[in-house]
RNA sequence: GGCGGCGUAGCCAAGCGGUAAGGCAGAGGUCUGCAAAACCUCCACACAUCGGUUCGAUUCCGAUCGCCGCCUCCA
């Protein structure tokens, strides 16, 4: 049961062992809170949630940090046009972000540091880099000198020396020694918020907050750092440079990156305008669990093409799981005998599922094992070869699935008395072969969202799914 | 132009040296008063194309074509 993860640093799958046995320190790049996150963003957050859950299932204690970047060009610009202070503006989207996390059933990380709450740590890091000669000052701003860091480009495999010619001119350009040097601290510009500090007034450059907060909360070397593939360059490359130049130690041991959500063959992104938020989908009546299922069912390193057809396929697959769970619980009451044949099979399926998850979080493979078991369970139930030990084993598998995927198959099992009595009246009508009356009641219940199924084992009911 | 990734049935998607998991949709059957669900059967003889390595390749190597991403803010 060794965990294996694809490490972007080496571009290969490696056995994973945390630096401190039993304890995984995980930094997951979070949102810049200038707007609602879209479902492409949530693909990554959902995958990180799965990673966290699987590490826990495998017995590790997890300390996860997710940053909230609440100061950058966009938050400043949007706050200004909304006529709000930066803090009031970003708080809105921080609140919205947590609502969305809850809606999707994403577990809370241990820490959600905000960049603006870590200005002193960021300043200290700049000072440290200054002392070591990795940073220079120019007109009140501070820049990281990439030529001072020999490993620059190792993560992204970009050659630091080349590409300078194509880089776009921005307003800071002539202040830098080399166009690829990047700002670690930005001098205040007309009316922008700034902090008064020992290195002068200003605000952190992008990248800095992640270095400062991750090292402060997780230590100078920690286990896993994740994000979307678009973060590899420049964000993560720059984080490595800043952090390692300051400490002289390896910053992160395993880098993991999620592929993008694609829409009509293109990356979903704010700038392209081809994005959907969770709120958009909720407004259209889509089930959050189905969204979660869909986004997790494709391996995280493969692009996932979002379509509404894909979403309804996910919904259908999920309904199959819910139906199964409902059937199991309704059957649980009347079990006779110990059984055990299916329990053995269930154990095999569970091992297969976990082995796939251990192998770089192969969710699609894991689901394959699960659905094979689904068929085997129905089959056993149909033939009455299902005893108490089988029930126990099956519940264990479903429980493992629920804890890693964050989706608990099943349905509400409560019924109000009125509906219960309607079901009873229909059974009586059927018994006297009054099928018109029986069908009338069935249609009526369907209108109330209750689906009835007559099986050899008796009447079964379930709630209609979307 | 540089770097990286992808191309498996109608759709989604695992596998990655020994002859193709799973889901959705579809067809036939069993069960059923009907319906639904479930179960059974069927649904890819070359897994983009062309070469090469090998006893043997979807799986390794090379080339070609197509698509995507990064190189600029971005999960």
- Encode pLDDT of A68-94 as tens digits: 999 999 999 999 999 999 999 999 999
Q: For strand B, which residues in window 276-295 of chain A come within 7 Å by CB?
A: none
A332 and A384 share one domain: yes
Does residue A143 belong to any structural domain of this protein?
Answer: yes
The reply to whether the CB atom of residue A304 sits less than 7 A from any atom in nucleic acid chain B is yes
Nucleotides of B under 7 A from a protein CB: 1-6, 11-15, 21-25, 31-40, 67-75
Contacts of A198 (CB under 8 A, 6+ apart): A123, A127
3-state helix, strand, coil in chain A (%, to 5): 50, 15, 35
**Nucleotide B44 C1' to residue A349 CA (A):** 25
Q: Domain end: A244, A279, A314, which one?
A: A279
Does residue A373 belong to any structural domain of this protein?
Answer: yes
Q: For strand B, which residues in window 27-56 of chain A come within 7 Å by CB?
A: 29-32, 40-41, 43-44
A200 and A133 share one domain: yes
In tens, the pLDDT along A446-458 reads 888 888 998 877 7
A399 and A421 share one domain: no
A49 and A124 share one domain: yes
Q: For strand B, which residues in window 73-102 of chain A come within 7 Å by CB?
A: 73-74
Does residue A148 belong to any structural domain of this protein?
Answer: yes
State the nucleotide closest to A300 in CA–C1' terms: B75
Query: H or E element: which one contains A94?
Result: helix A86-104
Map residue A25 onto helix, strand or coil.
strand
Q: Domain end: A357, A377, A405, which one?
A: A405
A80 and A41 share one domain: yes
How much is the pLDDT for A162? Answer: 52
Range in A1-5, A70-74, A75-79, A230-234 the model is least confident about: A1-5
**Nucleotide B68 C1' to residue A354 CA (A):** 31
Domain count for chain A: 3
| Nearest one of A63, A61, A30, A49 to A219, comparing CA atoms | A63
Number of CB atoms found within 10 A of residue A433's CB: 8
The reply to whether the CB atom of residue A303 sits less than 7 A from any atom in nucleic acid chain B is yes
How much is the pLDDT for A466? Answer: 55
A144 and A226 share one domain: yes
**Nucleotide B29 C1' to residue A64 CA (A):** 53
A427 and A380 share one domain: no
Say whether pLDDT at A109 is over 90. yes
A246 and A340 share one domain: no
A247 and A337 share one domain: no
Structural domain of residue A333, as residue ranges? 326-405
Mean pLDDT for the stretch of residues A146-161? 84
A69 and A40 share one domain: yes
Say whether pLDDT at A174 is over 80. no
Query: What is the average pLDDT score of chain A?
Result: 91
ipTM: 0.94
A246 and A125 share one domain: yes
* Position A172 confidence tier, pLDDT thresholds 50, 70, 90: very low
Does residue A410 belong to any structural domain of this protein?
Answer: no
Whole-angstrom CA distances from A220 to A8, A116, A191, A214, A357 are 19, 21, 35, 8, 29
Does residue A230 belong to any structural domain of this protein?
Answer: yes
State the nucleotide closest to A30 in CA–C1' terms: B75
Does residue A350 belong to any structural domain of this protein?
Answer: yes
Residue-level length of chain A:
466
* Position A12 confidence tier, pLDDT thresholds 50, 70, 90: confident
Does residue A321 belong to any structural domain of this protein?
Answer: no
Peptide bond between residue A234 and the one before it cis (omega within 30 degrees of 0): yes
A240 and A271 share one domain: yes
Does residue A220 belong to any structural domain of this protein?
Answer: yes
The reply to whether the CB atom of residue A313 sits less than 7 A from any atom in nucleic acid chain B is yes
Q: For strand B, which residues in window 333-392 of chain A come within 7 Å by CB?
A: 356, 359, 362, 364-365, 367-368, 370-372, 374-375, 378-379, 381-382
């Amino acid at each position: 049961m060794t965990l294996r993860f694809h490490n972007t640093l080496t571009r290969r799958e490696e056995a994973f062992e945390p630096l401190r046995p039993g304890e995984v320190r995980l930094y997951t790049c979070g949102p810049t809170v200038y707007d609602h996150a879209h479902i492409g963003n949530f693909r990554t957050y959902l995958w990180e949630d799965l990673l966290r859950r699987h590490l826990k299932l495998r017995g590790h204690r997890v300390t996860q940090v997710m940053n909230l970047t609440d100061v950058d060009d966009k938050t400043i610009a949007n706050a200004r046009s909304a006529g709000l202070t930066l803090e009031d503006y970003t708080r809105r989207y921080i609140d919205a972000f947590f609502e969305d996390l809850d809606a999707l059933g994403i577990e809370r990380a241990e820490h959600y540091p905000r960049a603006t709450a870590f200005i002193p740590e960021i300043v200290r890091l700049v000072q440290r880099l200054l002392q070591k000669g990795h940073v220079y000052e120019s007109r009140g701003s501070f820049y990281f000198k990439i030529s001072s860091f020999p490993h620059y480009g190792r993560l992204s495999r970009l050659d630091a020396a080349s590409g300078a010619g194509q880089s776009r001119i921005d307003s800071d350009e002539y202040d830098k020694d080399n166009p690829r040097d990047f700002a670690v601290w930005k001098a205040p510009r007309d009316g922008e918020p700034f902090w008064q500090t020992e290195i002068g007034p200003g605000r952190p450059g992008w990248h800095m907050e992640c270095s400062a907060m991750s090292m402060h909360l997780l230590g100078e070397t920690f286990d896993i750092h994740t994000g979307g593939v678009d973060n590899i360059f420049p964000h993560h490359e720059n984080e490595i440079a800043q952090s390692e130049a300051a400490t002289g130690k390896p910053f992160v041991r395993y880098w993991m990156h999620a592929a993008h959500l694609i829409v009509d063959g293109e990356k979903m992104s704010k700038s392209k305008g081809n994005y959907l938020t969770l709120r958009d989908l909720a407004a259209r009546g889509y089930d959050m669990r189905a969204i979660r299922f869909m986004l997790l069912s494709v391996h995280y390193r493969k692009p996932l093409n979002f379509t509404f057809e894909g979403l309804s396929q996910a919904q259908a697959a999920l309904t199959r799981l819910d139906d199964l769970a409902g059937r199991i619980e309704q059957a649980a009451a009347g079990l006779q005998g110990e059984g055990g044949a299916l329990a053995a099979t269930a154990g095999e399926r569970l091992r297969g599922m976990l082995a796939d998850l251990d192998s770089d979080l192969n969710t699609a493979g894991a689901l394959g094992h699960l659905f094979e078991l689904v068929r085997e369970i129905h089959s056993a139930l149909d033939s009455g070869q299902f005893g108490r030990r089988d029930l126990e084993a099956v519940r264990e598998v479903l429980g493992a699935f629920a804890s890693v995927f964050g989706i608990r198959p099943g349905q509400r099992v409560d019924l109000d008395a009125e509906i219960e009595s309607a079901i009873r009246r229909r059974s009586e009508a059927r018994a006297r072969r009054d099928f018109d009356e029986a069908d009338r009641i069935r249609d009526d219940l369907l209108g109330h969202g209750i689906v009835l199924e007559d099986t050899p084992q008796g009447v079964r009911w379930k709630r209609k799914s979307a």
